[in-house]
Amino acid sequence: MTDATVAPVEAMRVVDLRAGYPGHLVLDGVNFSLPMGTMTGVIGPNGAGKSTLLKAVLGLLEGATGQVSLLGGSLRECRKQVAYVPQRSSVDWDFPASVFDVVLMGRYAHAPWWARPGRADRAVAREVLERVGLAELAERRISDLSGGQQQRTFLARALAQEAALYLLDEPLAGVDAASESVIMRELDELREQGGAVVVVHHDLNTAPRYFNHVLLLNRRVVACGPVSEVFVPDLLATTYGGNVLMFAGGKPVLGLRDSRD
Amino acid sequence: MRSLLALLFLTPLFACQSGGGAKGPFKVVGTTTMVVDMVRQVAGHRVSVQGLLAPGGDPHVYRPLPADAQAVAGAQLIFSNGLHLEPWLPDLIRQSGSQGRLVAVAEGLKTRVSPQDKSVPDPHVWFDVRRWKQAVGRVERALSEFDPAGQTTFSANARLYERQLTVLDDWVQAQVGRIPKARRKLVTSHDAFAYFGEAYGFEVVPLQGISTESEASTRDMARVVEIVRGASVPMVFVETSVNSRLIEQVARETGVRVGGPLYSDSLGVLESSAGTYTGMVRDNVALMVEGLQ
Amino acid sequence: MADDPAWWALTSDVLTLRYDFMRHSLIGTMLVGAACGLLGCFIILRRLALFGDALGHAVLPGVMLGYLWGGKAFFAIFAGAVVTGLMAAALVGWIPRASRHRSDTAIGIVFTGFFGAGVALLSCYQMGTSGVTTFLFGRALAIGPSEVVHAAWMLAGVVLFLTLAYRPMVWMTFDPVGAVAQGVPVGALTGILMVALTGTVVVSLPIVGAVLVVALLVIPGATAYLLVDRLAPMFLIAAIVGAVSSLGGLLLSHMFAWASGAAMVLAAAFCFVMALMWNLSRRKYACLG
């Protein structure tokens, strides 16, 4: 689904966002903006508010203040164009559904709530399943899938939505290598086509390889920008409170001495 | 001293006081409204009687209130029907610590046994007016022992009341005669009218047994429906103190009209025509005659 | 009592629906069984089984108050039940927010408290044995034409709700966080689900009784869950299991004079055990390859 009007310049702009849970403020004044055509990794230590940021931006947290604009408008205006993939654990994988059923759910955003999915929707779902390599498992019950297969199903659901902005919360957690490469390949394809992808990511080692844009977060934005500018030792040290080791060699490798601050 | 002990014992029971409870200990207490009525007729103005059950209450499954325990505790004379009509009474008397004398007015009368359980008597003797009349003497004797000074009054009242009951019995016989023999069938919720049937020539077809403690089963429903259909019974009757749902089902099933409510285990409210025993019997018979003629 | 029908005659009477009252009780029970089975699927999937138990018990004081106020009028009883049912639901939601207690503790406190109030009202009112038994354990013979009509309406309402709200309900059950993000009116739908649940419980009361109604909500859906892999067939199987076990239980109740609620729950539990055994044997063979 292409946008007939002028493509929005900014995928996301956040001004002075404060958000958290009752009795516990997590994000304390967050400011950043992300252009379209980027794949942004949200990086930070535990408790930095990475998942909270995605939830706040989607309006899922009560009592959040600040301004958020997505694709140039408010969330309500552009819901269909924003796809959210929550953490795998927040979903009930014992639900009686097949892989195909879950992927088809991604089409729900495009039709009124009382309508049944049509032939075109089913075609999109099948095509997306091919792309993530789950075509043979389409009829398999989701509780019988491995972690990687579940994550690919989840991604396929988001892809079926044909959105412009994708927000993913830890999509590579507990995922096998083959699934990981399929997922990152598909996300990169979205970026190539002009969409924007924001990923909460936990593995510093793979970050520079996967993302062209990075948001360093520790309750506030430490830095946000292209990976070559932002993914540097000083800024990482600030983000992680001085607990980062870096080894210079043929390839830059990062280690985390102590992730708790 | 005795009353003081009883009161101390009863303090935890004072938690819930509902309307209609006794106010202060009474010397003479009666259980069912029929029994209380008889005692009042004999006692006249000399002795005041406190009743436990309210009109419309079902003595088979009555749950005594704390106010009842209070009343019984202070009583010196407790009149009951007897014959297991009030299965809760022995426990109530024991727990209240009452030292009063218990007089079961129906005991000593000739009774029938329950068809379901031969060891249990049928307590509904008051529906045979002639038989109920025999209990008057017992009440008179108990009252005379309690209040010897009133013996003459009690005796006069008792004789007068016995005559009234004889007149009533004759009246019932005459009224019942207006119903053709083939139509003298009483279909009711529970087996309260057997003595009535025996005395005045009715076939009685109850859904439940002697006591409302147990419930009618599907078998009972089927049996009664068959009888009603087979015998072309003109009317089935609901009772004042028993849930009418099943009788209404029978009526719906067979297309027969519902009559009543008949007073079975209780009199009506004091102000109504059925507030006394004689009034109740007249009202019942009028309903039966009207419905079955 | 002369001429008590022999048990085989009674069985054939019941199976051939010889009497109107048997027909009413059978139809009413099957309608209620189907409605409970359908709604029960969402109760199970949304992990509300304990809450469903609580609700079944929490409506009792409302039912009693409605009965005292409006007699046998269904609307009075339903209104009373909805009021106390929603009060209980609100309390269960509020207590974990207002205190350190978790929701299962809140449920335990609220439902026993409300149920106790209901039983207290029952005993004050001197309903006699049959009244108490009917409300607590169900009574096959208490089902008349009006109960059948109410059950039919309730089933129609449940089917309508499930058909219209199918997609949003599925979404918010499978992916609660994502559903809210996409603007699914989760609060409103949950509210409607609660009202539908309360209505079904009230209609089921004379048939199954307050104590056991949760079983009729949970067991058919739980059975269906073991037998199918997808949601749409799960609803169908749950409705069938609900209707069939209600029917079976009612037959037992008619023949042996058991309380109808207990008989129905036993029949439903039997279906569940069969499904469980089938499920286990299927897994064993799958492992053996």
Say what the pLDDT of residue C253 is. 83
Q: Is the pLDDT of residue C250 over 50?
A: yes
The verdict on a CB contact (< 8 Å) between A105 and C225 is: no
pLDDT tens digits for B132-176? 999 999 999 999 988 888 899 999 999 999 999 999 999 999 999
Q: Give me the residues paired with residue B236 across strands.
A: B187, B258
Task: List chain A residues with CB under 8 Å of C230.
Answer: 96-98, 101, 141
Q: How far apart are CA A12 and CA A9, in angstroms?
A: 9
The verdict on a CB contact (< 8 Å) between C182 and A105 is: no
Per mean pLDDT, which range of A1-15, B220-234, C53-67 is the poorest?
A: A1-15
Say what the pLDDT of residue A261 is. 40
DSSP state of C142: G
Other beta carbons within 10 Å of A93: 18
Say what the pLDDT of residue A231 is. 87
Question: What is the dihedral sign for C-alpha A53, A59, A64, A67?
Answer: positive
For residues C147 and C38, which has the higher predicted lDDT (pLDDT)? C38
Tokens for B282?
Answer: 């007249």
Cβ atoms B109, B134 nearer than 8 A: yes
Q: In terms of CA atoms, which chain A residue is nearest residue C170?
A: A105
Q: How far apart are CA B98 and CA B87, in angstroms?
A: 17
The residue ranges of DSSP E strands in chain B, in sequence order, are: 28-30, 49-51, 77-80, 101-104, 185-188, 203-206, 235-239, 257-262
Name the band, by pLDDT with cuts 50, 70 and 90, for residue B233. confident
The verdict on a CB contact (< 8 Å) between C177 and A60 is: yes
For residues A28 and C254, which has the higher predicted lDDT (pLDDT)? A28
Specify the residue for token string 């059923």: A101
The residue among B218, B238, B240, B256 with the most chain C CBs within 10 A of its CB, best to mutate, is B218
Q: How many helices (H) and strands (E) does chain A have?
A: 8, 11
Residue A256's Cβ-count burial label (10 Å; 0-12, 13-18, 19+) is middle
Q: Is the pLDDT of residue C285 over 80?
A: no
The verdict on a CB contact (< 8 Å) between C130 and B213 is: no
Say what the pLDDT of residue B141 is. 93
Preceding peptide of A226 cis, ω within 30°? no
Using the Cβ of C176 and the Cβ atoms of chain A, whether some distance falls under 8 Å is answered with yes
Query: From the first residue on, what is the mean pLDDT of each consecutive set of 10 residues in chain A (261 residues)?
Result: 58 90 87 92 89 91 88 84 90 91 89 80 93 92 91 93 93 91 93 92 87 91 90 85 59 51 40
Using the Cβ of C150 and the Cβ atoms of chain B, whether some distance falls under 8 Å is answered with no
Name the pairing type of β-strands B28-30 and B49-51.
parallel
Point out the residue among A86, A95, A113 whose CB comes nearest to the CB of C168: A113
The verdict on a CB contact (< 8 Å) between B243 and C130 is: yes
DSSP state of C256: H
For residues B209 and C277, which has the higher predicted lDDT (pLDDT)? C277
What number is the average pLDDT over the span C200-221? 88
Cβ atoms B284, B263 nearer than 8 A: yes
The verdict on a CB contact (< 8 Å) between A90 and C175 is: yes
Using the Cβ of C175 and the Cβ atoms of chain A, whether some distance falls under 8 Å is answered with yes
Say what the pLDDT of residue C123 is. 73
Closest CA to B143 of B125, B161, B130, B131: B161
Cβ atoms C44, C219 nearer than 8 A: no
Q: How far apart are CA A60 and CA A62, in angstroms?
A: 7
pLDDT tens digits for B95-111? 998 888 999 999 888 88
Helix (H, G, I), strand (E, B) or coil at A11: strand
Say what the pLDDT of residue B242 is. 82
Q: Is the pLDDT of residue B88 over 80?
A: yes
Q: Is the pLDDT of residue C168 over 80?
A: yes
pLDDT tens digits for C107-165? 889 989 999 998 888 777 765 556 677 778 888 777 888 889 999 999 999 999 999 89
Q: How far apart are CA B208 and CA C129, in angstroms?
A: 13
pLDDT tens digits for C2-18? 445 566 777 777 667 77
Task: List chain A residues with CB under 8 Å of C176.
Answer: 90
Point out the residue among C175, C183, C234 whose CB comes nearest to the CB of A96: C234
ipTM score:
0.80
For residues C123 and C214, which has the higher predicted lDDT (pLDDT)? C214
Helix (H, G, I), strand (E, B) or coil at A66: strand
The verdict on a CB contact (< 8 Å) between C5 and B61 is: no
The residue among A105, A139, A170 with the most chain C CBs within 10 A of its CB, best to mutate, is A105
pLDDT tens digits for B276-285? 999 999 999 9
Closest CA to C243 of C273, C264, C226: C264
Cβ atoms A63, A18 nearer than 8 A: no
The residue among B118, B191, B219 with the most chain C CBs within 10 A of its CB, best to mutate, is B219
The verdict on a CB contact (< 8 Å) between A105 and C171 is: yes
The overall average pLDDT reported for chain B is 86
Say what the pLDDT of residue A245 is. 63
Specify the residue for token string 């008397």: B93
Say what the pLDDT of residue C157 is. 93
